[in-house]
Amino acid sequence: MSSGQYTFESSVNTATWFMEDASKVAYRELSNMRGVSVVLLLTLAVASGHLAVWNQGTYDCGYPDPNSDRPVWPLWQTDKWWWHSALDCKPNGTQSIPSGGSLNLEFSSNKAFTSMGQGLLANPTQRPNPWPTGATTAWGNLHASVYPDDIMGCALAIAYKSDRYSVTPSDFIVFSVVQDCPTKQLQTFQIPQMPPCPSGGCQCSWVWVNKYHQSYMSPFACNVTSPNARLGVPTPQVPTDCTNGGTCVSGAKTPLFYGTPTQSFAPLVPIRDTIFQLSPRYKSTWGFNEGAQRVFPARARVVAAAEKVQKEVYAFKPNSPSRIDVSVGPQMVGFDNPGGDIDNGYLPNTNSANDCQTQCVNRTPALTGQCYAWSWNTQSKECWLKGVAFNPVSNPNMIAGTVNRVASPPSVHEDKTNRSFLSRYEGHQNSLCCELIPVLSASIFLKAVSTLRKKQSDIPRAKESNMRGVSVVVLLTLAVASGHLSVWNKGTYDCGYPDPNSDRPVWPLWQTDKWWWHSALDCKPNGTQSIPSGGSLNLEFSSNKAHTSMGQGLLPNPTQRPNPWPTGAVTAWGNLHASVYPDDIMGCALAIAYKSDRYSVTPKDFIVFSVVQDCPTKQLQTFRIPPMPACPRGGCQCTWVWINKYHQSYMSPFACNVTNPSARLTVPTPKVPTDCTNGGSCVSGAKTPLFYGTPTQSFAPLVPIRDTIFQLSPRYKSTWGFNEGAQRVFPYRSQAAAAVEKVEKEVYAFKPNSPSRIDVSVGPQMVGFDNPGGDIDNGYLPNTNSANDCQTQCVNRTPALTGQCYAWSWNTQSKECWLKGVAFNPVSNPNMIAGTVNRVWVA
C-alpha cells in the first residue's frame, strides 16, 4: 500500500470520528446540521468518495430517517462493498427505468440534500466552470480532484432477477454510462431499449470506481417501463483495458468490480497497476462509450437450443408451440430476427405473413428445399420457423403454413458446448498478485520474459541443453514476482506435449483470469497418474518439463529442504516459492474429483485428500494417501492446489486413478474450508481446496477474502482445518448411503424381487448392508465373517431384536453380508447365499 493510501485511511478515520460527533446534533436543529454535514462531506471527499444514488428504490437501512446517510456506509471499509452492506434492508418503492428514454438521478451523501429530504442544493445540474483549482469546494466537483481528467466516469447496471439474494456480480449488465461523472448532483442517464423485467422487478445499481481504487455500488430496486419484448438478456463479459492497442470487450459488460474484496462469485477486473492513470474507468479506453449502452440483442441472437434459458422467450417444439424446452434436446429451428442470417436458421426482418413465407423461398440465391414450416404472429408481427405445420385454431394470432427447410436443428457437440459455457466466465477474474507487488515493474519484467521466451523458441533443438540453463534463470527470476510451478507426471494436462522442454502447464503465470484447469481443459494427458490408496505418492515440481524425469532429469537433491534457510534472494530450487521467512510457506494439497469427464467437473467436486504443510519447498515431494474409494470406470480427475503468498490460487490438474481402492468407502460431499484461528470453528470432514482470491466461474466455492494482510491469507495449515498428511475424509459406505441419496458410483444393493445396483429413482429401495462398526439399529449388521454370522448376528444379538430382521444374503466372493427387502434367489447369482431372518429396518 502506498503512502498516499495510508494518508487516505488516516483521513477517513478522522472524518469518521467527525461524523459520529456530528450525529449528536439534535434533529430539531436539522438546518444547522445540514451546514455541518456539508463541511463533513467536503472534508471526506478529499480522502475518499462517499456518495449514493437516492430514489424510492434505494436500499436505505436508515429509512425512514430524513437525515439518513446509511446508503453511503461503509465509507472506506470496502470489505463490505457488496450491496453496500444493505442486502437485508428493504427499499421504500421501485425506481422506473424508461426503456429508450432518459433518467435523472440524485446524488448525495445524505438524504437531507435530496428531494426526499430538504431538497437539492443550488444548481444541481451544473458542472463546475471554471474547475476549482484548490480543495474540493463545490457540490458538482464533490469527488473530483483539481484535475478534470481525474473524473473516472460512472454507470448504471441492471440484474434481471427479482430476488436480490440470488444476484451475483456476474448478473449485472451496464446499460448507461456518463463519462463526466460524478460532477453533478442531478445527473441525466440515457437509457437504451431494454427487455422487460421478470414479474417481481429487477435489481439495479449505480457503479463507480473512484481514483483510490475503490469499487462503489449503490443498489436500488427497479423496473423497466415501456420495455421492448423483442429484446433478450445477454450474458455480460468482464471489461478489459483496451488502451495501447488492446482489444475492447464488445457487447454487454459487467461493471468494473475492481480492487475490492469479493464474495465467491465476484468477477473482477485485473489490477494492472497502482498508478492512477492505469486504473479502470467508465471511459472508451475500457470499452464504455458515453450514453446508452445498446447491448440488449434481438431475442433470436441470445437464444440457442442448448442454452439454459432463465428468461421467458417463446419458441416452438414439434407439434406444440411453447416456451423453450431444452430438456428434450434442440427443438427450435429459428425465428425472425432483424439482420438475421437465413443460413443460420433465422429469416431476415419481415413485415407480413406473405414476407414470412416468400422471403425464404424467393431468396437469391434460391434456397429451394432449405426452408421448413413457418407461422406468422399477427399480434407481435413476428415470423417464426418451426418443426412442423402449426395449428392456428388453438392460437388465433398465428397463421401457419409450410414452405421449405431452413436449417437443421442446431447440433450440440459435448466438448464445444462445455468450452462455450466456460468461455462465458473467462475474464471474470482478478490477478491479485499485482495487489501486493509493484505491478509496473512486473509488467515491464513480463514483457522482458516474453521477449526472452521468443528468443528461446528460436534456438535450435540441438542447443536444448543450453536452453535449459536459460530456462532456470527465467524460472528463478519469475519466482520473485509470482509463483510459476506445476506438478509433472504422465497424467498432466500439458498443452505443450510432446515438447520435452514444455512449460505450458505453468501458463498462465500471473494471468489468473485463466486459472481454471490452468487453461488446459482442452489438452489431453499422455496417461494416467496412479493414486495408491493407503500408500504414498512422490510428485515432481518444476516450471519446465526439462527439469523432470520426463525431460533431462531432476535437479540435484530434489527431496531436500533448504537448510539453512536462504537469507537473501531465492537461490535454491527447494525454496523456489518461499521468501526469506520460513513461516511464509503456505502449504499445498492434492485434491480429487470423482468424475471421468473433465468438462463436467466443477470446483465443488474436488476433495482434498493429502496435505503437505511445508510446501512447496522441495522439487520431489512425498504425499501421504488415505484409503480411498474406487474411481469410476473412466478414472478420476486430480489436481495439485496451492496459494502463494501473493494471494493467487494455483491448480495443476492431471488425470488419475485410485489403485488398490477400498470398496467399503464412499465419496463424501466436501465443504468450503473456513479460518479457525482466534477461536473460530474449523470445518471437519471433507473439504474443497482453497479457491481463494481468484475470479471464478459461476459455480466456484471460494474462501472469503478477509484481509489483505499476508498473515491472514488462507493456507493449507491446521488453522484452516488441514492437518498434515493423509486426509481421512472418505466415510464407510454405510455412513453415506441413504435411500434417497443420489448415488453416482457403482455400489451394490438390492431392490425388492430383484438384486441390482442402487436405483434411487424409484424411491428408497435399499435396506442396508454390512459395515465394520456399523449399527444394526440403522439397518447395518456389524462385521461378519461367514454366511452363518450374516444370519445369526442379527437373530442372536443382545438385546434380542426378534422381529427386527428381514431377508439376508451372503456374498461368498466379496465376503459381505447384505440385508434386503425379500428372499433372494441364489440361482441367478451363484456367489450369493440367501435366507430369511427377521426385519431389520424399513426405509
In this predicted structure, what is the pLDDT of residue 515?
Answer: 67
- pLDDT tens string 442-464: 222 223 333 333 333 333 332 33
User: CB 690: neighbour CB atoms within 10 A?
Assistant: 27
Q: What is the mean pLDDT of residues 249-265?
A: 67
Q: What is the mean pLDDT of residues 404-409?
A: 28
In this predicted structure, what is the pLDDT of residue 769?
Answer: 34
In this predicted structure, what is the pLDDT of residue 32?
Answer: 32
Which residue(s) pair with 833 in the sheet?
Answer: 810
Distance from the Cα of residue 185 to its chain's centroid: 36
Read off the pLDDT band of 152 (50, 70, 90): confident
Closest to 568 in 3D by CA, of 476, 656, 496, 449: 476
Backbone angles phi, psi at 687, to 5 degrees: -135, 150
Contact 641/651 with Cβ under 8 angstroms? Answer: yes
- pLDDT tens string 793-837: 444 443 333 333 444 555 555 555 554 333 333 344 444 444 433
Q: What is the mean pLDDT of residues 142-163?
A: 74
Higher pLDDT, residue 237 or 275: 237
Q: What is the mean pLDDT of residues 344-373?
A: 43
Read off the pLDDT band of 74 (50, 70, 90): very low
- pLDDT tens string 205-219: 988 776 655 667 788
H or E stretch covering 34: helix 30-47
Higher pLDDT, residue 598 or 147: 598
Read off the pLDDT band of 244 (50, 70, 90): confident
Higher pLDDT, residue 774 or 220: 220
Closest to 673 in 3D by CA, of 624, 626, 625, 706: 706
Beta strand pairing status for 486-488 and 648-659? unpaired
- Does the pLDDT at position 116 exceed 60? yes
Is the preceding omega at residue 182 within 30 degrees of 0, hence cis? yes
In this predicted structure, what is the pLDDT of residue 750?
Answer: 32
Average pLDDT, the chain: 59
- Does the pLDDT at position 264 exceed 50? no
Which of 33-42, 183-192, 498-507, 776-785 is least confident?
33-42
Which residue(s) pair with 334 in the sheet?
Answer: 385
Residue 580 C-alpha cell reads as 526469506
- pLDDT tens string 546-556: 777 877 777 77
In this predicted structure, what is the pLDDT of residue 368?
Answer: 37
Which of 47-56, 132-141, 519-528 is least confident?
132-141
First to last CA, the chain: 60
Q: Can you tell me the distance from the alpha carbon of 600 to that of 415, in angstroms, rounded to the nearest whole number?
A: 10
- The CATH code for residues 50-292 is 2.70.50
In this predicted structure, what is the pLDDT of residue 730?
Answer: 94
- Does the pLDDT at position 72 exceed 90? no
Q: Can you tell me the distance from the alpha carbon of 737 to that of 755, in angstroms, rounded to the nearest whole number?
A: 17
Which of the 8 DSSP states describes residue 691?
-
In this predicted structure, what is the pLDDT of residue 4?
Answer: 33
Q: What is the mean pLDDT of residues 519-538?
A: 88
Read off the pLDDT band of 376 (50, 70, 90): low
In this predicted structure, what is the pLDDT of residue 122?
Answer: 62
* Domain definitions of the chain by residue range: 50-292, 305-409, 419-726, 737-836
Closest to 776 in 3D by CA, of 759, 763, 789, 764: 789
What DSSP string describes 616-681?
SS-SEEEEE----PPPPTT-EEEEEEEEETTTEEEEEEEEEEEES--TTB-----B------TTPP
Q: What is the mean pLDDT of residues 723-734?
A: 89
Q: What is the mean pLDDT of residues 107-123?
A: 69
Read off the pLDDT band of 441 (50, 70, 90): very low
Q: Is 744 exposed, middle or buried (0-12, 13-18, 19+ CB in 10 A)?
A: exposed
Tracing cell 541443453 back to the chain, one arrives at 465
In this predicted structure, what is the pLDDT of residue 129?
Answer: 66
Q: For 402, what's the count of Cα atoms within 13 Å in the CB-facing half-sphere?
A: 7
Q: What is the mean pLDDT of residues 234-250?
A: 84
- pLDDT tens string 615-671: 887 878 899 999 999 998 889 999 998 876 655 667 889 999 999 999 889 999 999
- Does the pLDDT at position 517 exceed 60? yes
Task: Give whichever of 354-368, 515-529, 584-598 has the largest mean pLDDT.
Answer: 584-598
Read off the pLDDT band of 293 (50, 70, 90): very high
- Does the pLDDT at position 63 exceed 50? yes
Read off the pLDDT band of 531 (50, 70, 90): very high
Which of the 8 DSSP states describes residue 703?
B
Burial 25-52 (b: 16+ CB within 10 A, else e): eeeeeeeebbebbbebbbbbbebbbbbb
Which of 528-537, 564-573, 592-601 is least confident?
564-573
Q: What is the mean pLDDT of residues 85-107?
A: 85
- Does the pLDDT at position 340 exceed 50? no
Which residue(s) pair with 763 in the sheet?
Answer: none
Output the pTM of the full model. 0.36
Q: Can you tell me the distance from the alpha carbon of 776 to that of 224, in angstroms, rounded to the nearest whole number?
A: 60
C-alpha dihedral (54, 55, 56, 62), degrees to nearest 10: 0
